[in-house]
Every structure is written in C-alpha cells, then in structure tokens.
Structure 1
Amino acid sequence: GIAPIGERTFYRERARFTSQEVTTTRRGKRAAYVSQPFAYLDQTTPRHGSRPFERAHLDHTELDLVLVSSMTGKPLARPWATFMTDAYSRRVLACYVTFDPPSYRSAMMAFRLCVQRYGRLPQELVVDQGPEFGSVYFQSLLTRCLVTQLDRPPQQPRFGSVAERLFGTATTQLLNQLRGNTQASKTPRHMTREVDPKRLAVWTLERFAPRLSEYVHEVYDQMEHPALGQSPREAFEQGMTLSGSRSHRLIPYSEDFLMLTRPSTETGTVKIHPSRGITVNGLHYWHESMRLADQSGRVVPVRYEPFDMGFVYAYIGGQWIECIADAFAQVHGRSEREWNLILDEWREQQRQHNQKRITINGPLLAQFLQKLQGDEALLLQRKLDLEEQAQREAILLKRPKTPEPTLSAPPRIELDLTKISRYEEYR
C-alpha cells in the first residue's frame, strides 16, 4: 500500500494554499471576496477624485418602506431610489424616487435633478453592470454631456462603497424611523399583524419624495462624515474654493437641456408622411408644418418624453416642434412603460386571432384600451404613474393648473313681514 505522509508534511503542503484560494474552491468567488486583501494607495493617488464633480457614483436601491396610494390609502409597493453621489465630498447631487424598477428613465431624471440643483454634471460617472447603463440612450447621453463612464467590476461591491454606504445610512437614520418600514418583514416567521408594514404604511410617494430629498440635502449634507472629518457640504465648498468653479462646465437648466436628455427611437429618425405625419412607438403624430410640400418624405430626428406618450418632438425647419398623437385622448399621460404593457397585450391578442402582420390602428386601439381598463397590470402601472405625476411636473418646469375660484353663496337675507308696508288689499 501507499505509506501515509507525515504530519509535518501535511501541514507544510496545507500552508501553501491561502485562505482565499481555499474559500474560492469550496464556496465560490463571492464568498472569497470578503477575505480578499485590499490595495494600499499612495499618498498622491486620489481614491475618490481630487475635487468636487470630478467623479460621481450613480446607483439604484429598493427602499425598505411600503408606500400607500394617495387616493385609496391602500398599500402599493416599495419605491426605488436613484442616488447620484459626489465621490470627493460624499455630497448627494441628485435623489429621484419612483415606483418603476431601475431603467434609463431613472438615470435621465437623476441627470435633470443634478443640473437643476447645481447647474453642472460630473466629469466621470461610476456605474455598475446594470442593463440600463449599457443602453444606447445612456451612452449617447453621456457623450452629449461630456461625461466619461467608469464601469464597476461585477460582484465586487467595494468599488461602489460610496453609494452603498449612503444606502445604509439613509435606511438606518430615516427609513427605519418611519411607519411602514420593512424591518419586521425581514423575519417573516416572527412577524405579526401588529407590525406588518402593509398595515402600518401611511406615507404616499408625493409626501415621501420631498422628505427624502430634504434629508439628503439638508440633514445628511450637514452631518460630519467619518471618512472626511467634516460634513459633505463643508468638503464640497472647500473643494470648490480650492479647485475653482470651472464655469465652462456649467449647464443651464432650460428646455434645450430637457430636450437633450429625452430619448429617441432605435434609428433616431422618422419619415414624414403627408397624411399620417410621423410614427413613433406604434403611434401616429401630427403637426401642421408637416402639411408643407417640402416636408413630405423627409427623414427628421425625433425624441419623446417617456412619461407622456401624447407628445413627441420632431426637428423640422431648424427647430424642435411638438407633435400631438392621433389617439391623444387615449395615450395622454400614459408613460412609456405603461404603453409597452398595452402593446404587448395588443400583439398577443392579435396573434391569437392568427394575424401574421400586426399594425397599430388608432380607432381600433382606442376600443382596445377601453377593454383594458380592468387589466390588473395596467391598473397598477397607471396608479403608480399618477402617484409620481406631481414630482415629474416639478422637474419638468411644469406647474399644475391652479384651481378655479369657487363662487361663494350669496348671504341669506331674513325678511320680517311685520315691517313691510301694506298699501292695499288684493281682491
């Protein structure tokens, strides 16, 4: 037989394997990442940039809070928050709350909020491997805004420690103190009706979003950060003083910038039809300038607002023109996400009727939308979009219509018949 090795030989061979290699072999790369040694940085190596707006982190998280409907008061869902954080000062540059899962729309709104508050965008943006950050729209938006994208390595959250630490701080200091937080639901076997977050939830999105924004911009911004030895606001102001304002990076928050952030179609252009106008996302849009003879058959750039499918914007005659959908009454106020749900169900019903070629017809689509009023997925998405309407109007420089003054009832006049003069008796 084979003679067994000695004890000293066994431990000598065992010592050749590091703990990380053993953990990788036994439990995988994710488990070994915890014991991975960190890299020492030289004193001249700025880990998070050398000035404000040099580098920022953009990331999403699902908040540990259940929100309710502003109309019915019933629980809806847990919202998603998108944070853009300055790496140098740890200051929150933008905070956007929505019910929709992470998408390019959340990144677009974060860009708008950052420019609305600070009038500029970071020079470098650190993002993870999410599909929304690899889309053509996101790449084009960064190119137009002169922002360089830096991708975090997959399955290595330490590279996003700036954003991840903010998530934990906001949860501990704010969310866990509100009614409807999901601390109890993390251990469902121990949860009872008295602590069920869906029964305790009272916050609506319209009320919660401004409070979260106030926390990150007024409370967290003035608290001393342990990694800085000062507050993010102080670090930001000190960095801006030392590095300069860099006025050439300023971006005015105007309709031109909003148009710059709006997405386009896959091709980026559409062809003008003399009678139907242009077709975007299966809908026909029209403007009177398309009636001109020199515009017929032209291919023009097009963009749309993803939160209202009733309008698109076509570049005609050297300017962006707002075009109205032919089914405006049915699609006005509907978001792109809701419209995609409608189209998916529309196509599925057409396939069931053995129609090989599926086209969108305005009147027929209007009848179909009436039938979909009871669809659960559409009703839920419609309800979530309505909850976010006030927040989006504030970002898009749109003010809600002021209610018409109510006419007060005329004062009631009491008549004393004994004091009225009696001239004659009627016979």
Structure 2
Amino acid sequence: MLVEFLTTHYAVPQAKRAAAVYRLYREEALRQGIPPIGERTFYYERARFADQDVITLRRGKRAAYASQPFLGYLDRTTPRHGERPFARAHLDHTELDIVLVSSVTGKPLAKPWATFMTDANTRRMLACYVTYDPPSYRSAMMAFRLCVQRYGRLPQELVVDRGPEFNSVYFESLLSRCFVTKLDRPPAQPHFGSVIERLFGVTTTELLNQLRGNTQASKIPRQMTREVDHDQMDHPALGQSPREAFEQGMIRAGSRAHNFIPYSEAFLIQTRPSTRTGVVKIHPARGITVNGLQYWHECMRSTQVAGQTVPVRYEPYDMGFSYAYIGDQWIECIADAFLQVHGRSEREWNVILEEWREQQRQHNLKRVTLNGPRLAEFLRELEKDEAWLLQRKLDLEEQPQREALLMPESRPGSVITQADVSPIELDLSNIPHYEVYH
C-alpha cells in the first residue's frame, strides 16, 4: 500500500509535498483498518523510493540531471552524462607507448604525449593534441585552440584531474575568460589505466600497432584515417557511434549560436599566457622585457606610453613575439634578437636561458642580459649541448602542427583589436602617386 501511494501520489508531475502524501496515506490506511507506519519510517522509505526516474517525473529532466552523481572518469561502460553535446567534457593527458622517428634523419626521437578533450555525452573527440613535451598548460592551450578551430565553441563544463597544469592561474583565467566551469576529479578517483584504454576500449599496444610507423614489420597495418575507428564504431555505452550521437544531440539541443567562439586573433590572445606578474613597464629606449628578452614596437617611443605599466602576453611556441596592451588594443612587439629566437618555443628558450645562467654562475660573471649578438654567439657555443639539440629537434618536428593553429594573417608589428575586423576593399585608382626619392 505504501509503494502504491508513493507511485500514484508522490511520483507525479504535480509534485505533492511528502507531508501531504503521508496524510493521505494515513487516512486511507485508517479507513481500511490497516495500522499506518510512523512518519519517520515514511520519510525513510520515501528517500529510498526517490530515484532518478522519480525526480524526472516530479521536476523534469533538468532537475534529474543536476542530481545525478558526478562521474569523474570515462571508460567504455560509463553511462553518458551531460544533457547535450558540449555540456561536459573531459580533458586528459597520456604518454603514448610508441617511439617516433625524425622526419629528417629517420632516427628515433622520443615518446609523444597526447592530450584528449572528449565530449561526455556523445564520446566524440573534440580535440586531440600530440606533442613531445610533457603535460603542461601549453598542451591544454592547444587543445582549446583545436576545439574552437574545429567546432567554434568550447564545452560548458570541463572535468580535469588535480595536475599542476590544471590548477595554475593561467588555466583558471583561461576558463574564466571562455566561460567554462572547471570540475575537479575527486582525489581518490581511480585512474582506470591509461586514457587510450578508457577511450578506445583496447590496450595501448593494440591501438598503436595499427599506426603507420610501428616497429612490427610482420603485421600488416590496416588503413586508418581520422574518420575511421572510434568516431564511427558503435560505442557500448551509447548504442551508436559517437558521430551519430553527436549529430543527433546537436539537432535536439540546437546550434546555440550565442555560444559560438570565432577562431580569431582575439581568441588566440585569450589563450596566450602572461608572465608571473602579468604586467611589464615600458622603457622609452628598450621597450619591454618578457622572459629575459627585450621586445619593441614603434608606439613605445611616444611620451604618453613610456613609463606605463601594461598587461602583457606571449606566444609560447614562438618567442620572437610578445603582445602588450597599449591604448586599448593589443600590440604585437618584436624581439630585439628576433633572428635568434623566432620559431623557438618557450621550453627551448628556457633550456637556453638555464644554460646561460649556469655559465654565468660557473665563471662568477656579472649577470648580463642576453641581447642579439651575445645570444647568437652563445647559441654557436651551445650546439654541442645534447639537451638543447634534442629539444630543438622535437620542436622542429612539431612546427607544422603549431603553425596550422596560428592565424595566417598574423604579421610582425600588427595591431590586434578585440573584435573581428572585416576585410577592407581597396580602390587602387584613388591611391596617390609619389615622387621617386633620390
């Protein structure tokens, strides 16, 4: 009788209060001559009865979704969570069990790391960034760029572990600027093996042995493309492929155009990191100093700008440029030692800087700033350093991938506005002609 009353009076869209349902139950039990249970026992049974289906009947799907238990991991059997695509995603790193070779020399280099951003509702891969560098804020930054470049948006919630790269000020600021809520995985949450095994349902070896370049010459690799395998194979937790689930979810949830993020210079500026203090002081002759390098732009000659303290950012994969916020706009500044540092990553520059400081300490030399001539001479001396040479080779292998994520119209000395700039049509007939300067 109690279960019948809970089913017909409590688990209904009218959402009657538990006290009212108990009074109805007590009156009906007394009318039938059945001793009713106590109110405390009734509330205990009601709590056991109120599962996700009951919450859905009483308050709707959104309320049921909010009360679902937090799932801090993904594997092949984890039920889909997130009420729609891009509602929640998981960001993970894993070291791939394969050694890649140089595209120039053919010699082995190192094991790469992969960063995955996976949609929790459809299991579709939103971004996958492969790099030789160990997990850092740079891997998360590139995953964000890949996701926006491909889909024009970011997930509303992002589940991450408690790694240092996810607890940095830069990462928290990036999430805040992009209106993404961070959800920390519980510290006692088991890792359930590598990310590859959780996502693809096979061991790392079984997956990577199918890739071109593996060392198993006796096995004939099947032809694979980025469109095959995980994205189009039926997923046991979905009952369909991730691509089908994603497309159906986007149709049901709508395009939500207000969540679109244009892949523009303004977005790239948001993803670029800042220095420890976040600001620099402009010197009228030397410009600004970022990460031990001096940068310059012609606008810094102005007396209105000199001496100001302005926000600054830099591109971690090209130390030849930094960006200063001057006059309500981001100005691209060029390094004094541009020829020596252009195309060098922050990680490689840190190796160079550490070697320079160590040399200064060993010889008890006065601390000297690395300018262009000194840096060029020091790099010639550093050519025998194995750590620097290895990092240089790794960065050169990744350079095409990184350049694909930079805006092609980005040019040295450009001004980056906060909004997208529409193309300007030029009328060549109105351009004035000037005399030849002798």
Normalising by structure 1, report the TM-score. 0.73
Normalising by structure 2, report the TM-score. 0.71
> Which among 88, 95, 104 is matched to residue 137 of structure 2?
104
- Please say if residues 55 and 123 of structure 1, whose CA atoms lie closer than 8 Å, have aligned partners that are also in contact: yes
Equivalent position amino acid for 2:100 in 1: L
Q: 1:170 offset after TM fit, Å? A: 7.8
1:295 matches 2:305 = yes
Q: Which residue in the other structure is 1:130 paired with?
A: 163
* Counterparts of 1:72 and 1:159, CA distance in 2: 37
SS at match of 1:126: strand
For residues 315-356 of structure 1, the C-alpha deviation after alignment (integer angstroms, 9 at most, x for no partner) is: 122221111111111111110000011111111111112246
For residues 68-120 of structure 1, the C-alpha deviation after alignment (integer angstroms, 9 at most, x for no partner) is: 10110111111111110000100000011111111110100000000011110
Give the number of aligned pairs. 336
* Counterparts of 1:168 and 1:106, CA distance in 2: 24
> Which among 75, 80, 84 is matched to residue 108 of structure 2?
75
> Which among 241, 254, 258 is matched to residue 251 of structure 2?
241
1:159-178 residue pairs with structure 2 within 5 A? 165-166=198-199, 168-169=201-202, 171=204, 174-178=207-211
Equivalent position amino acid for 1:132 in 2: E
Q: 1:219 offset after TM fit, Å? A: 3.2
Equivalent position amino acid for 1:274 in 2: P
Report which stretch shifted further, 173-182 or 67-76.
173-182
1:346 matches 2:379 = no
Unaligned runs of 5+ in 1: 1-39, 185-193, 204-210, 401-427
* Counterparts of 1:56 and 1:164, CA distance in 2: 17
* Counterparts of 1:146 and 1:170, CA distance in 2: 35
Q: CA RMSD in A?
A: 2.8
1:4-403 residue pairs with structure 2 within 5 A? 42-43=52-53, 44-45=64-65, 46=68, 48-157=81-190, 165-166=198-199, 168-169=201-202, 171=204, 174-178=207-211, 181=214, 214-215=225-226, 217-355=227-365, 357=367, 359-398=369-408
Q: CA distance change for structure 1 residues 181 and 149 in 2, over 3 Å: closer, same or farther?
A: same
Q: 1:155 offset after TM fit, Å? A: 4.7
Q: CA distance change for structure 1 residues 41 and 77 in 2, over 3 Å: closer, same or farther?
A: farther
Q: 1:152 offset after TM fit, Å? A: 0.9
* Counterparts of 1:396 and 1:237, CA distance in 2: 28
SS at match of 1:227: coil
- Please say if residues 94 and 114 of structure 1, whose CA atoms lie closer than 8 Å, have aligned partners that are also in contact: yes
Q: CA distance change for structure 1 residues 262 and 372 in 2, over 3 Å: closer, same or farther?
A: same
Report which stretch shifted further, 366-375 or 74-83.
366-375
* Counterparts of 1:259 and 1:98, CA distance in 2: 21
- Please say if residues 94 and 194 of structure 2, whose CA atoms lie closer than 8 Å, have aligned partners that are also in contact: no
- Please say if residues 99 and 111 of structure 2, whose CA atoms lie closer than 8 Å, have aligned partners that are also in contact: yes
- Please say if residues 61 and 167 of structure 1, whose CA atoms lie closer than 8 Å, have aligned partners that are also in contact: no
* Counterparts of 1:321 and 1:127, CA distance in 2: 33
Q: Which residue in the other structure is 1:21 paired with?
A: none
SS at match of 1:323: strand
* Counterparts of 1:316 and 1:272, CA distance in 2: 10
Equivalent position amino acid for 2:186 in 1: P
Equivalent position amino acid for 2:243 in 1: R
Q: CA distance change for structure 1 residues 161 and 180 in 2, over 3 Å: closer, same or farther?
A: closer
SS at match of 2:162: coil
- Please say if residues 58 and 163 of structure 1, whose CA atoms lie closer than 8 Å, have aligned partners that are also in contact: no
SS at match of 1:341: helix
* Counterparts of 1:160 and 1:147, CA distance in 2: 27
More helix by share: 1
Q: 1:357 offset after TM fit, Å? A: 4.6
Report which stretch shifted further, 52-61 or 352-361.
352-361
Q: CA distance change for structure 1 residues 383 and 167 in 2, over 3 Å: closer, same or farther?
A: farther
Equivalent position amino acid for 1:135 in 2: S
* Counterparts of 1:161 and 1:369, CA distance in 2: 39
Q: Which residue in the other structure is 1:28 paired with?
A: none
Equivalent position amino acid for 2:324 in 1: A
* Counterparts of 2:212 and 2:253, CA distance in 1: 43
For residues 364-388 of structure 1, the C-alpha deviation after alignment (integer angstroms, 9 at most, x for no partner) is: 2332122111210110000000001
* Counterparts of 2:368 and 2:175, CA distance in 1: 35
* Counterparts of 2:391 and 2:271, CA distance in 1: 23
Q: CA distance change for structure 1 residues 277 and 41 in 2, over 3 Å: closer, same or farther?
A: farther
Q: CA distance change for structure 1 residues 163 and 42 in 2, over 3 Å: closer, same or farther?
A: farther
* Counterparts of 1:398 and 1:384, CA distance in 2: 23
- Please say if residues 340 and 372 of structure 2, whose CA atoms lie closer than 8 Å, have aligned partners that are also in contact: no
* Counterparts of 1:158 and 1:359, CA distance in 2: 45
- Please say if residues 59 and 163 of structure 1, whose CA atoms lie closer than 8 Å, have aligned partners that are also in contact: no
Q: CA distance change for structure 1 residues 356 and 54 in 2, over 3 Å: closer, same or farther?
A: same
SS at match of 2:209: helix
Q: Which residue in the other structure is 1:190 paired with?
A: none
Unaligned runs of 5+ in 2: 1-49, 54-63, 72-80, 411-438
Q: 1:66 offset after TM fit, Å? A: 1.4
For residues 128-156 of structure 1, the C-alpha deviation after alignment (integer angstroms, 9 at most, x for no partner) is: 11111111111110000000111112352
* Counterparts of 1:399 and 1:276, CA distance in 2: 27
- Please say if residues 57 and 87 of structure 1, whose CA atoms lie closer than 8 Å, have aligned partners that are also in contact: yes
* Counterparts of 2:295 and 2:51, CA distance in 1: 56
SS at match of 2:252: helix
